[in-house]
Protein backbone atom coordinates (compact mmCIF):
# COMPACT_ATOMS: atom_id res chain seq x y z
CA UNK A 1 0.00 0.00 0.00
CA UNK A 2 1.18 3.50 -0.74
CA UNK A 3 -0.40 6.74 0.40
CA UNK A 4 0.64 10.32 -0.21
CA UNK A 5 0.00 12.60 2.76
CA UNK A 6 -0.32 16.39 2.70
CA UNK A 7 -0.48 18.29 5.97
CA UNK A 8 -2.62 21.35 5.35
CA UNK A 9 -1.37 22.92 8.58
CA UNK A 10 2.18 23.53 7.37
CA UNK A 11 2.36 22.12 3.84
CA UNK A 12 4.45 19.06 4.71
CA UNK A 13 4.12 16.16 2.34
CA UNK A 14 5.18 12.56 2.91
CA UNK A 15 4.76 9.14 1.36
CA UNK A 16 3.59 6.30 3.57
CA UNK A 17 4.31 2.70 2.58
CA UNK A 18 3.29 -0.59 4.15
CA UNK A 19 6.63 -2.32 3.75
CA UNK A 20 5.71 -5.54 5.55
CA UNK A 21 2.88 -6.97 7.63
CA UNK A 22 4.38 -5.29 10.72
CA UNK A 23 6.08 -2.19 9.35
CA UNK A 24 4.99 1.20 8.04
CA UNK A 25 7.61 3.44 6.43
CA UNK A 26 7.20 7.20 6.18
CA UNK A 27 9.33 9.00 3.61
CA UNK A 28 9.25 12.75 4.24
CA UNK A 29 9.08 15.26 1.41
CA UNK A 30 11.70 17.92 0.74
CA UNK A 31 10.54 20.50 3.33
CA UNK A 32 8.83 18.19 5.81
CA UNK A 33 8.60 19.45 9.38
CA UNK A 34 9.38 17.30 12.38
CA UNK A 35 6.10 18.40 14.00
CA UNK A 36 4.05 17.22 11.04
CA UNK A 37 5.87 13.89 10.87
CA UNK A 38 5.14 13.44 14.58
CA UNK A 39 1.44 14.07 13.92
CA UNK A 40 1.45 11.45 11.14
CA UNK A 41 3.13 8.89 13.45
CA UNK A 42 0.72 9.67 16.29
CA UNK A 43 -2.27 9.23 14.00
CA UNK A 44 -1.01 5.87 12.73
CA UNK A 45 -0.29 4.65 16.28
CA UNK A 46 -3.76 5.74 17.43
CA UNK A 47 -5.37 3.87 14.54
CA UNK A 48 -3.59 0.61 15.32
CA UNK A 49 -3.61 1.14 19.12
CA UNK A 50 0.04 0.13 19.24
CA UNK A 51 3.36 0.88 17.68
CA UNK A 52 6.90 2.04 18.14
CA UNK A 53 8.50 4.86 16.18
CA UNK A 54 12.13 4.38 15.19
CA UNK A 55 14.28 6.45 12.87
CA UNK A 56 15.29 4.71 9.67
CA UNK A 57 18.85 4.22 8.55
CA UNK A 58 20.35 6.77 6.23
CA UNK A 59 21.28 4.96 3.12
CA UNK A 60 21.85 6.38 -0.29
CA UNK A 61 20.80 4.51 -3.37
CA UNK A 62 22.37 4.44 -6.73
CA UNK A 63 19.86 5.96 -9.21
CA UNK A 64 20.27 2.83 -11.34
CA UNK A 65 18.50 0.82 -8.60
CA UNK A 66 15.21 2.54 -9.50
CA UNK A 67 15.16 1.22 -13.07
CA UNK A 68 14.45 -2.32 -14.19
CA UNK A 69 16.84 -3.58 -16.80
CA UNK A 70 15.21 -5.78 -19.34
| Between 53 and 70, residue with greater pLDDT | 53
Is 68 inside any structural domain? no
Is 63 inside any structural domain? no
Spatial contact of 17 and 27, defined as CB atoms under 8 Å apart: yes
Is 69 inside any structural domain? no
Say what percent of the chain tops pLDDT 90.
10
**Predicted confidence band of residue 70 (pLDDT cuts 50, 70, 90):** low
DSSP string, 5-29: EE-TTT--EEEEEEEETTEEEEEE-
Is 66 inside any structural domain? no
Is 57 inside any structural domain? no
Is 24 inside any structural domain? yes
Question: What is the extent of the structural domain holding 39?
Answer: 1-45
How much is the pTM?
Answer: 0.66
Report how many domains make up the chain: 1
Is 23 inside any structural domain? yes
Is 31 inside any structural domain? yes
Amino acid sequence: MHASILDYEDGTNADVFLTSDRRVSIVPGFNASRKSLSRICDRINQGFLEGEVIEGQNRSKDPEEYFVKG
